Structure 1
Amino acid sequence: MVEAHEHDAPTERASTNDSGIGSARPDSLRRDPDIWFEEGSIVIVAQHTGFRVHKQLLSSISPVFQALFKPAGIRRKPIVSLFNGHCVVKGPPVIHVSDSAYDMKCTLRALYDGQKYLNGMSPYIPFSVLSALMRLRHKYQLQDVIDDAARRLGDYFTTDFNVWLQYCREEKDETFDFSEDEGADVFEAVNLARLTGKVSILPLALYKCCQQDLAAIMFGVRRKNGDVVRLCQEDVERCVRARDRLFRESCKMIDTVTGALAERAPRCVTHSACSRRMAILVEAFTAMFATLINTDALSGLEEQLGSLATMSEWTQLCDACREELVRQHVKKQRETWGSLLKILDVEHRSLTYRWSGLMIRK
């Protein structure tokens, strides 16, 4: 079993087409320190990094690996590589793939370690790990434990409004960690959903893309390592159109909050005090109207209130008035959620059914 080690973010993305037969300069091939089984029967080389693995095991898991390991794709000469400047290593046949070394390592470790691989990192699984697993799961037709990556992304980019509310209220932890390049991550989530057919991820992933500035949507987001992650042209246009709709939904949400602040809750027991506090909040909220409008129309109430959430007039409202405001806000959130597929121009029969079905839940 492969031991769990801390993951470094990938430093570069390989091309998407495999060449099969290839050659590596002897002084450029690096043996991976974690996935190098001395009894392994084949070496997979990705970006000059060699992984010595078991051909029969991988062939039984993936029909794509099985095809790659046929004689036509294997370089029959043994590997001759220099390690530490002087150690000559000879080994089994080698197959070259075009995947990044990072993606290949994540995938091989998931295959060897099973569910222990992701569970051992939970809940702080790097997004880059899930991304790698989903990409190579699709390419190599892998199932089972690799599906766990898609499930964890799906848990966050949910189709369930009630789960979304839990995230808004910080009652539920995220199932993975975004990188420092969160904008690039959400763009990549959309691209992964398109690549793998996981359409359930699309609505919230596209919604998150709409939170990025217009230039990022138009031209992509550059990661720290220099890679630029872009949406396809159709999704760029989709997000640009959706931003206008989300701005309008944000205005409606502000109107809802302002209206709720204008009236005390029927069960309010501190009438005069709450009336005075709510009048101050309405005045402050109205003055801040322009700064509160954004594309995050599904955000939680305190995010909608902005700095007003720290005012004593808000924190000292009676429980009944606060609960009524929360109820009105959730009602409007639910309406916006119900319109999200239309706002984003996302159409898929199974997705529409699931999204609509969940809307009737209380």
Structure 2
Amino acid sequence: MPKRRRVDDGPAASEQPEGAPVSPLKRSEEVWFDDGNIVLQAGDKQFKVHRGVLAKHSPIFSDLFQIPHPHDEPTVDGCPIVELHDSPEDVEHVLKALYGLGDYLNSDLNLHISVVAAMIRLGRKYEIPHLSAESMRLLKREYPTTLEENDELDHHSYHNIRVTMPDRTRGPSDADETEDETEDDTDNFAVILGIVKLAHECHIQSILPALYLQLTRFPLEDILRPDTQLPLDVLWSCICGRDKLLNVWRDRTHAMGRSEKCFSKADCKMSIMSLLEDLKLPDADLASILQPWDTFAEVWDDSLQSLCEECTQEAKELHEKDREATWTSLPELFKLSSWDNLKNV
């Protein structure tokens, strides 16, 4: 049988291992237009769309459609078939974005990480710059390169990219907790793992320092679990960065509670000792060291509430000064290149 036209410069998602059962083809329920004139096939899924729409957005598809379709090749509803070596999920997300079938573009709403990843992968592959640019805008908003942009984030929600990850992202300790109690932390960890992998797959360097910083929010035993499938160099960067952040934080904490005007030295010393003990906890939120003082103090309220007014004011001034220096050195802490070099990659 003559072969269908293919776009082969991507992962061969539609190829089946030799001897494996062939999945029956199915039509997309959302991207199937009765008046379409071309059928895209990715894996076991087909999409009936319009040549003109794809050609308008992608020079790759435009050039492909210039190739005459042999009369003896198979068709669907009289339409030629183009086989894509991409995942059906990625193709569906991108087609829905092109057809305006979801709030994918220029949206401040939460997006699934699978949507963000698809628009970057296929936006680059098929030269659809507005798709990849929109996903890059979202990623750079959530994982910024400046402290000012980082301060504008809602640190209580971690990020605004939702998760579509398999259940293996749940830690073994989650089993005894209710779904409501574990959903936020599990989802956040899964999102960050997914974006770390996407950043390395697509060579998105500028978001790595802020992204690795978010990983330090989670216990080291979770980061090191084999099922996270993080590359060794990523694990090395995260472990080194986590250790150095702890050292920075210990040094800063030891410098707190020493105001000459302190009027409650015993209470202030107890407060500092309590904070140092909290840093030893496996789930200590190390990323809060770079948050504005008010947010930082809210996270560590139990430890800091005993500081007197004078020591609190000096601690705030020290925190604001040191966090600027820490942000500047953040790439170095994680064994990465400088901010300027990362931005230019």
Flag whether TM exceeds 0.5 (same fold): yes
The 5 A counterparts of 1:199-218 are 199-209=205-215, 213=220, 216=223
Deviation, 1:57, is 2.0
Please report how far the alpha carbon of residue 102 of structure 1 lies from its aligned counterpart in structure 2 after TM superposition.
1.5
Describe the shift of the 1:280–1:286 C-alpha distance in structure 2 as closer, same or farther (beyond 3 A): same
C-alpha separation between the residues in 1 aligned to 2:268 and 2:324? Answer: 24
Closer, same or farther: CA 150–344 of 1 in aligned 2, 3 Å: same
The Cα of 1:178 is off from its aligned counterpart by: 4.0
Alignment of 1:35-184 (within 5 A): 35-71=31-67, 76-79=73-76, 90-113=77-100, 116-119=103-106, 122-167=108-153, 170=156, 174-179=159-164, 180=186, 182-184=188-190
| Per-residue deviation, 1:114 | 8.7
Distance in 2 of aligned mates of 1:18 and 1:308: 47
The one-letter code matched in structure 2 to 1:327 is E
Letter in 1 for 2:286: D
Describe the SS at the equivalent of 2:75.
coil
Counting matched residue pairs gives 305
**In structure 1, which of residues 296, 302, 309 is the aligned counterpart of residue 301 of structure 2?**
309
Query: Residues 192-231 of structure 1: matches in 2 within 5 Å?
Result: 192-209=198-215, 213=220, 216=223, 219=226, 221=228, 229-231=229-231
CA contact (8 A) 1:253 1:329 kept: no
Check whether the contact 2:40–2:48 (CA below 8 A) recurs between aligned residues. yes
**Secondary structure at the counterpart of residue 200 of structure 1:** coil
Give the drift of 1:41: 0.9
Partner of 2:192: 186
Displacement of 1:115: 8.9
- Give the aligned CA root-mean-square deviation in angstroms: 3.9
How far apart, CA to CA, are the structure 2 residues paired with 1:293 and 1:238? 20
Consecutive unaligned residues of structure 1, counting only runs of 5 or more, are: 1-14, 80-89, 222-228, 355-362
What is the aligned partner in structure 2 of residue 251 from structure 1? 247
C-alpha contact (below 8 Å) 1:44/1:53 kept by paired residues: yes
Alpha-carbon spacing, 1:72–1:215, altered in 2? closer, same or farther (3 Å): farther
Give the aligned residue type for 2:326: T
**Secondary structure at 1:113 match in 2:** coil
| Pair 307,199 (structure 1): closer, same or farther in 2 beyond 3 Å | closer
Where does residue 290 of structure 1 map in the other structure? 280
The residue number in structure 2 matching 1:83 is: none
> Which one of 30, 33, 53 corresponds to residue 34 of structure 1?
30
* Native 8 Å contact 1:247 1:295 kept in 2: no
What TM-score do you get using the length of structure 2 for normalisation?
A: 0.71
Output the amino acid matched with 2:325. E
- Determine helix, strand or coil for the equivalent of 2:305: helix
SS at match of 2:336: coil
Q: Secondary structure at the match of 1:155?
A: helix
C-alpha change, 1:137 and 1:339, in structure 2 (3 Å) is same
Task: Describe the superposition over 1:168-199 as per-residue Cα deviations: whole angstroms up to 9, x where unpaired.
Answer: 755x9833224545445334323433444433
8 Å CA contact 2:331, 2:338 repeated in 1: no
Per-residue deviation, residues 22-77 of structure 1 (Å, max 9, x unmatched): xxx99922221221111111011123222111112212321222344454788832
Counterpart contact for 1:253–1:332, Cα < 8 Å: no
Structure 1's 98 and 181: CA in aligned 2 closer, same or farther, altered over 3 A?
farther
